[in-house]
Chain A
Amino acid sequence: AQTVTQSQPEMSVQEAETVTLSCTYDTSESNYYLFWYKQPPSRQMILVIRQEAYKQQNATENRFSVNFQKAAKSFSLKISDSQLGDTAMYFCAFMKLNYGQNFVFGPGTRLSVLP
């Protein structure tokens, strides 16, 4: 079974600074996707960024980028130029490519952006 670990329950960062959230996972699969989701107080689940395991290039979406280390099974999220609206819970998630396309979520990191 796949597991996803986020070792930082809470983090804070000053507005305009850069912060990195950590995620590690355990799997025997070779083809899979990894995701970062953001959950603001509204409780909506919002996709931040995704990474296909077969791609060596790290994904980037505007201020958000990942450091994907497949051998180390590590998938960290870097947020540059942090904004107050980035305050939220962030979940790392794993999806294997087979029957059911099941998702596994990490426990989350609560990020606070301070003015």
Chain B
Amino acid sequence: NAGVTQTPKFQVLKTGQSMTLQCAQDMNHNSMYWYRQDPGMGLRLIYYSASEGTTDKGEVPNGYNVSRLNKREFSLRLESAAPSQTSVYFCASIGFGYQGTTSNQPQHFGDGTRLSIL
């Protein structure tokens, strides 16, 4: 099925460890996003990539790096995990030409990754 795929779904890390969250979409979308969701905070944008080869900081980029590997894939890396990064992470994508599309869903979300840092 077409959509956004995130891996892993769950992960527990120790403080100081590193890891990469993977995201891939098969809808040929240009723009991809990484959000984190904390209780009572809604979704906050970490980084986004408007198109292949470009990345920009969002609201809360500190402690994270991203790579837009190709048009399909957008990964999020924690170089040295901290307990404050315990959260649920969502990847999302949107296609340019949204106004002209027949899709009713402007932004497609993955199912989320629950990350705990001990």
- Chain A interface residues toward B at CB < 8 A: 9, 33, 35, 43-45, 47, 50, 91, 95, 97, 99-108
Contacts and interface: CB of A to CB of B under 8 A. Distances in A.
Given A47-B104, A105-B42, A107-B41, 5 more contacts: A47-B106, A99-B50, A102-B48, A103-B107, A107-B40
B109 interface: yes
Contacts, number: 52
B50 A100 contact: yes
Given A43-B111, A99-B50, A101-B31, A33 B40 contact: no
Interface string B53-75: 00010100000000000000000
Interface residues of B, number: 27
A102 B90 CA distance: 15
A103 B88 contact: no
Q: Is the interface of A mostly helix, strand, loop or mixed?
A: loop
Contacts of B42: 91, 105-108
B105 interface: yes
15 contacts: A44-B111, A45-B92, A47-B106, A50-B104, A50-B106, A91-B43, A95-B107, A99-B50, A101-B94, A101-B98, A104-B45, A105-B42, A105-B43, A106-B42, A107-B40
Interface of B: 31, 33, 35, 40-45, 48, 50, 56, 58, 88, 90, 92, 94, 96, 98-99, 104-107, 109, 111-112
Contacts of B35: 105
A103 B45 contact: yes
Nearest to B30: A101
B33 A103 contact: yes
A102 B111 contact: no
